């Protein structure tokens, strides 16, 4: 299943590394536990190995999947409930799935809404959390640090491809 050194994603907290695998006795029952170090929020999570699938633990995506995530991030927004309360619940439920594409959809839709109409305080917090979780996985997949990955993601959301575009001022100065 999972071994020490594996890069994994814990849906509610983001991506990290399995740093320890050990047997523990809890309430008279011996179980194997995975200790996961999540760097982006300086957290350690212990997960019973036999519950890993139940809690949504999975391996970090590869570069082929990153390309698919970029497509999801740059696609058209999906129709969202008008009521912010329902929209918030809808997005929260998508984030809970642990699916990278659902998370990318939440990030994309909140970025589009933020640009068009602005976000409520709760949605702003959700947007920040969703981006952090997405960045935590993409930094492992792309072998970049957190800051580089954050800049790359912002570029994808603005330009649609992750390639930095020249500002108009620079473009005008060279023309």
> What pLDDT sits at residue 173?
41
For residues 94 and 151, state if they share a domain: yes
Q: Quick check: is 171 in a domain?
A: no
Range of the domain at 84: 63-159
C-alpha–C-alpha distance, residues 159 and 99, integer Å: 24
8 A C-beta contact, residue 56 and residue 10 = yes
Q: What is the CATH number of the domain that holds 18?
A: 2.40.10.170
Token pair in block for residue 103: 């998370």
For residues 83 and 128, state if they share a domain: yes
The pLDDT tens digits of the residues spanning 105-152 come to: 999 999 999 988 888 899 999 999 999 999 999 999 999 999 999 999
Q: Quick check: is 114 in a domain?
A: yes
8 A C-beta contact, residue 15 and residue 139 = yes
State the average pLDDT over residues 158-166.
63
Q: Quick check: is 105 in a domain?
A: yes
What is the chain's percent helix, strand, coil content, to nearest 5? 50, 20, 30
Indicate the number of domains in the chain.
Answer: 2
For residues 96 and 133, state if they share a domain: yes
Q: Quick check: is 167 in a domain?
A: no
The sign of the dihedral angle between the CA atoms of 9, 109, 67, 40 is negative
Strand partners, 30: 25
The pLDDT tens digits of the residues spanning 8-21 come to: 999 889 999 999 99
> What pLDDT sits at residue 11?
87
> What pLDDT sits at residue 70?
94
> What pLDDT sits at residue 104?
96
Q: Quick check: is 172 in a domain?
A: no
What is the value of pTM for the model shown?
0.85
For residues 45 and 67, state if they share a domain: no
For residues 112 and 148, state if they share a domain: yes
């Amino acid at each position: 299943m999972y071994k020490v050194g594996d890069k994994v994603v814990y849906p509610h907290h983001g991506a990290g590394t399995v740093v320890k695998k050990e047997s523990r006795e809890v309430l008279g029952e011996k179980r194997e536990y995975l200790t996961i170090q999540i760097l982006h929020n300086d957290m350690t999570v212990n997960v019973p190995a036999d519950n890993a699938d139940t809690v949504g633990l999975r391996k970090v995506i590869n570069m082929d999947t990153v390309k698919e995530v970029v497509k999801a991030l740059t696609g058209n927004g999906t129709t969202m409930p008008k009521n912010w309360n329902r929209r918030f619940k809808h997005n929260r439920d998508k984030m809970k799935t642990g699916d990278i594409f659902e998370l990318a959809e939440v990030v994309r839709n909140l970025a589009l809404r933020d640009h068009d109409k602005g976000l409520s305080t709760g949605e702003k917090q959700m947007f920040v959390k969703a981006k952090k979780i997405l960045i935590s996985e993409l930094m492992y997949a792309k072998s970049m640090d957190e800051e580089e990955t954050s800049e790359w993601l912002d570029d994808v959301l603005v330009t649609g491809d992750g390639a930095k575009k020249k500002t108009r001022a620079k473009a005008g100065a060279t023309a």
